[in-house]
Structure 1
């Protein structure tokens, strides 16, 4: 029997795999820059396989890939006519994959995200944002999602509108903020204050995602956990952000001597700046220990990274059978059947 999101949260931490945006760009099915998920229509099998890889790596959720699939983004690329077909297709593909889970059918989440249009001083922009969320949530409801993931908001007021539109359709809401280098939201709220307000207004899970790596997100996750009585979510990017460079937008690579298209490593030259899986495991343990309930990774994450997070908080995933085991490695292994004249060479390799 398929448990709801709230039931799973009550039973223990929920793992949510994100990061499709960068992963599908790496796989060659999405354009960096516009970052619009046309892959749902152009290459549905590629999207299904990506969904599947994250689910088998431990995600309890198949998140419909509609990040940036809102009317404003589709207007910019001149494809508003594809807006509804893209949204519905992404959800339907997610539902197909969720049903494949060999142990318990995965949850399917609809997705609404930052619009890059919101302006608290422009009533028409605020109205447009509400209308965009309303139509996307409506399609999610009609397609039968289990909950809505509203993410990467850097205005509290925009997140509040998202929550209100989700609640009109009686769907559970996960709302997470993407905080830029100002260390407060763009409309002046602290992230912990914003999370508390949204939880009081009925969001099931509140927290942070994207923009920041574990090092620069975790201090704020601790503040949110201290401020919020309910469920808290944390989904950092897997990059080594720092106090000097708290987000991945201006993260430097001191070892790179080539000319970069945007004069910054973001978004296509971040590769040398990854956290390794063991750093991510340390973050996952620290978050789990303070009571974070909804754990995952965002842009840049791979399935193997997500599996490390899931295993660190006590989960055995479908693909844990492929987790590292060095016992039989030709050079570093300890199995007695290995050739000793080769294993003894490891100090000189």
Structure 2
């Protein structure tokens, strides 16, 4: 393993940084997280599972092992009645991330602490702002003490909440990535445009600004273009891998016209989105387009799989640890062209 480890800023200055997110849906899909509350108790209950997910994303090209503390804030823990687990959960998620990051065979991966939208921020309620600030402050302090490389603050739909997050990160003298979640009204909840919010956050000192979650590539890309034009610094884009549309720009109300049964939930979100995925080649094409646009910090959010992360990493010029497992149909019995294959099988390609 290399003795040196470049910082996030150094890597951004040298090229595109790939970031694998989406642990929330991946853990639910594997059966270790409850949809609804979406609290990452897996960090304490099944640390081996969390380490393997970290490893899978890193081996498929993520330059960052993001500590799985999304929704691991005091309000969420209060809702599920487990506030006493708040600090142990946060610290263990980071420690596991650091263990996996050191496994990288060529250069130790970066480890990011993670804070996110709190769902209690109210612009008309000063007490809520104080509560949010205190929640961020303790999580960032634990991250600092555990030795993370930077803090990823994400999915903010209030500009002011994002600013509070940035301020608390800066108090701990850590680099900040701040990404915003844009709801279907196509603006921040206060009415500000997402590009203006990003411009302000960048000018206030965020190393990376941009968008994550809620929107797929098709409905995020136009706003990434606006952000890139408005911001002088680094820009991040981490869409969900679902086929959102202009009519349904987020996955919260994304319909599935082909569903033949009644759903137990009001919409396909969050547990019936499966038929609405982009395939990995569409995601790779988006990543290449985003890179050419000047997006520097590229990844996928909720719903992403390691294979999808590998596809966007390779599309942006990277060879991953697990690129040796990338698709190669040459030896497939039906579709392969290798000379050693039995040719009588290939007569059935169109009949299979």
- Please give the root-mean-square deviation of Cα atoms over the aligned residues, in Å: 0.5
| Structure 2 unaligned spans of 5+ | none
1:232 aligned counterpart, secondary structure = strand
Partner of 2:132: 129
Aligned-residue offset at 1:260: 1.1
| Superposed displacement of residue 344, structure 1 | 2.1
Following TM superposition, by how much is the alpha carbon of 1:242 offset from its aligned partner in structure 2, in angstroms? 0.2
Q: Is 2:225 the partner of 1:222?
A: yes
The CA deviation at 1:263 is 2.0
Q: CA deviation at 1:345?
A: 1.6
Match of 2:327 among 300, 318, 324: 324
In the other structure, the counterpart of 2:315 is 312
In 1, distance between residues paired with 2:192 and 2:133?
A: 20
How much has 1:257 moved relative to structure 2? 2.2
Query: Is residue 115 of structure 1 aligned with residue 115 of structure 2?
Result: no
1:87 aligned to 85, 90, 96, which one?
A: 90
2:191 and 2:169 mapped to 1: Cα distance?
A: 24
Structure 1 residue matching 2:148: 3-state secondary structure: coil
> Where does residue 247 of structure 2 map in the other structure?
244
In the superposition, the TM-score normalised over structure 1's length comes to 0.99
Report what 2:302 is aligned to. Answer: 299
Listed as ranges, the gaps of 5+ residues in structure 1 are: none
1:64-83 maps to which residues of 2 (within 5 A)? 64-83=67-86
1:331 Cα deviation after fit: 0.4
Q: How do 1:17-28 residues align onto structure 2 when only pairs under 5 Å count? A: 17-28=20-31
SS across alignment from 1:239: coil
Instruction: Please state how far the C-alpha of 1:127 moved relative to its aligned partner.
Output: 0.4
**1:55 counterpart = 2:63:** no
CA distance in 1, matches of 2:230, 2:114: 25
Q: What SS does the aligned partner of 1:346 have?
A: coil
- Which consecutive aligned stretches of 4+ in structure 1 deviate over 3 angstroms post-superposition? none
Secondary structure (helix, strand or coil) at the match of 1:196 reads: helix
* Structure 1 residue 231 corresponds to structure 2 residue 234: yes
Distance 2:182 2:85 in 1: 30
| Aligned residue number for residue 213 of structure 1 | 216
Aligned length: 349
Give the Cα–Cα distance (whole angstroms) in 2 for the partners of residues 179 and 261 of structure 1.
26
Secondary structure in 1 matching 2:255: coil
d(CA) in 2 for partners of 1:176, 1:5? 16
Counterpart of 1:141? 144
1:272-291 counterparts in 2 under 5 A? 272-291=275-294
Alpha-carbon deviation of 1:348? 1.7
Match of 1:169 in 2: 172
Per-residue deviation, residues 25-77 of structure 1 (Å, max 9, x unmatched): 01111000000000000000000000000000000000000000000100110
Q: Aligned to 1:4, which of 3, 7, 23?
A: 7
Tell me the distance in 1 between the aligned counterparts of 2:331 and 2:31.
34
- Give TM-score, length-normalised by structure 2: 0.99
